[in-house]
């Protein structure tokens, strides 16, 4: 408010080209790209953010100005359109997508935040967001995407969060962690065929790494095991071998 006239003054950040005089618009239209960018930087520093955004000819500058304005719809449209027109910039835009996603989270716009993190391939943040909202459909999509690009820890946590133990066992076996896969399958009642296969792979892994004695102790016969049985039996035979000496008939034992 003007102290002398008591009139409401417009917020400088909301003033756009529509409020400029025709003479000033004509002047701006005669400027080149470089001059317009210089003018945009001047207006940005003086607080005319909307005006600076509208006359700027540089994408990076426009994005940073839009971040200051905190207009999620404007930012999302700007970045989406730019990447659609320039697909080769996808890698360089990852940080921008992540910044926009963080801003959306601060403003509690979960939908835009999720979209931005997908575009940024920020799977760790997506895991936090999706488990918080218990979005099973997107968690399954995340698990598959993380698996496809080798982000196995995230893939495992995503599968686990939606209680897909079968996929967890597959992932452990895929990464050569057969011991964990076998115990997980045994504990949570995965089919005997899969348990048999994983245990055989574990045994083969032990044998090829010079651990034949441990491999010999693995129990690999699950033919009598019903799916869902409580894991009362171990996967490893812990009984020591008992060597019984035969009596020599020619030796008389002392009484």
pLDDT tens string 57-100: 999 999 999 999 889 999 999 999 999 999 999 999 999 999 99
Whole-number mean pLDDT of the chain? 82
Q: Check residue 118 and give its pLDDT.
A: 97
Contact 181, 198 (CB under 8 A): yes
Chain centroid offset of residue 239 CA: 45
CA distances (Å), origin 230, targets 161, 189, 226? 22, 8, 9
Question: If you average pLDDT over residues 152-176, what whole number do you get?
Answer: 94
End-to-end CA separation in angstroms for the chain? 117
Across 14-28, average pLDDT = 79
116, 100 Cβ separation under 8 angstroms: yes
Provide the pLDDT for residue 121: 95
Question: Percent of the chain beyond pLDDT 90?
Answer: 47
Q: Which residues contact 202 (CB under 8 A, 6 or more apart)?
A: 178, 179, 181, 182, 218
Angle at 219 between CA 194 and CA 183, to 5 degrees: 55
CA dihedral 79, 100, 35, 20 (to 10 degrees): 90
Which pLDDT value is given to residue 145? Answer: 96
- Evaluate whether 78 touches 62 at the Cβ level (below 8 Å): yes
Least confident interval from 37-51, 88-102, 228-242: 228-242
Which pLDDT value is given to residue 24? Answer: 81
The answer to whether 212 and 192 have CB atoms below 8 angstroms apart is: no
Residue 107 tokens read as 């403003």
Q: What pLDDT is recorded for position 25?
A: 82
Whether the pTM exceeds 0.85: the reply is: no
- When pLDDT is cut at 50, 70 and 90, the band that residue 7 belongs to is low
pLDDT of residue 18: 77
pLDDT tens, residue by residue, 169-225? 999 999 999 888 988 888 887 777 888 888 888 888 888 888 888 777 776 666 555
Q: What is the pLDDT of residue 132?
A: 92
């Amino acid at each position: 408010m003007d102290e002398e006239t008591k009139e409401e003054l417009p917020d400088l950040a909301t003033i756009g080209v529509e409020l400029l005089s025709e003479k000033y618009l004509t002047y701006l239209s005669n400027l080149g790209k470089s001059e317009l960018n210089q003018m945009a930087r001047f207006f940005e520093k003086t607080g005319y953010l909307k005006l600076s955004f509208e006359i700027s000819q540089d994408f990076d500058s426009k994005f940073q100005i839009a971040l200051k304005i905190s207009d999620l719809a404007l930012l999302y449209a700007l970045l989406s359109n730019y990447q659609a027109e320039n697909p080769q910039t996808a890698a360089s835009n990852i940080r921008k997508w992540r910044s926009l996603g963080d801003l959306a989270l601060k403003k509690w716009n979960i939908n835009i935040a999720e979209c931005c993190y997908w575009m940024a391939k920020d799977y760790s943040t997506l895991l936090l967001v999706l488990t918080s909202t218990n979005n099973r459909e997107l968690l399954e999509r995340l698990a598959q995407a993380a698996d496809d690009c080798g982000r196995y820890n995230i893939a495992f946590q995503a599968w686990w969060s939606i209680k897909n133990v079968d996929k967890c066992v597959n992932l452990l076996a895929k990464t050569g962690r057969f011991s964990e896969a076998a115990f997980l399958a045994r504990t949570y009642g995965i089919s005997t065929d899969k348990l048999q296969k994983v245990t055989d792979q574990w045994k083969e892994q032990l044998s090829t790494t010079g651990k034949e004695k441990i491999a010999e102790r693995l129990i690999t016969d699950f033919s009598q095991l019903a799916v869902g049985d409580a894991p009362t039996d171990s996967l490893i035979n812990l009984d020591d071998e008992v060597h019984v000496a035969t009596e020599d008939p020619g030796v008389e034992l002392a009484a």
